Amino acid sequence: MNVARQRGLNIVGGIAAFLVGAGFFVSSLYIARLPVDPLAGRPAPEINVPACQSALRSLGFIVQRSPSEIVAESPTLDNPELSLSNASVGISLCHLPLLRFCMGKGCHFPAVPSGMSFALETSVAPSL
């Protein structure tokens, strides 16, 4: 291959690389300017607090309701793995934010000492 042919291939390769780079740059500008779909404008999910309370009771928890939260308690931890599993299921069924969770001997008031307790926030739920 002679020098003139190599120079021509280098020029064609450089032009192709420039065009590809310019295309990526233009496409990134287009993507950056697309409007964002805001999450704040979407309606809040329907949350049924009495159904959450009954689901927690069916899982074996003692349930108390205050105006802003649901507190579920288990005074003993005979089977800690099952208790933790039931708590995980209950929290996921309710679709409410978890405010606090405590399990075991290190729990202090308002948690149940040597037991399990967790609180779910109900202020995100519509009033019933």
Helix (H, G, I), strand (E, B) or coil at 120: strand
Q: How many other CB atoms sit within 10 Å of the CB of residue 49?
A: 17
Residue of 83 and 36 predicted with greater confidence: 83
Alpha-carbon torsion (116, 122, 124, 128), positive or negative: positive
Residue of 48 and 58 predicted with greater confidence: 58
Q: How many other CB atoms sit within 10 Å of the CB of residue 50?
A: 9
Residue of 34 and 40 predicted with greater confidence: 34
Cβ within 8 Å of residue 104, ≥6 positions away:
77, 80, 114, 116
Q: Please compute the mean of the pLDDT values over residues 16-22 and round it to a whole number.
A: 95
pLDDT of residue 39: 62
The whole model's pTM is what?
0.59
What distance in Å separates the CA atoms of residue 77 and residue 91, rounded to the nearest whole number?
Answer: 18
Angstrom distances, CA of residue 108 to CA of 83, 103, 105, 127: 18, 10, 8, 30
Tokens of 106: 């290190």
Angstrom distances, CA of residue 64 to CA of 6, 49, 56: 82, 12, 10
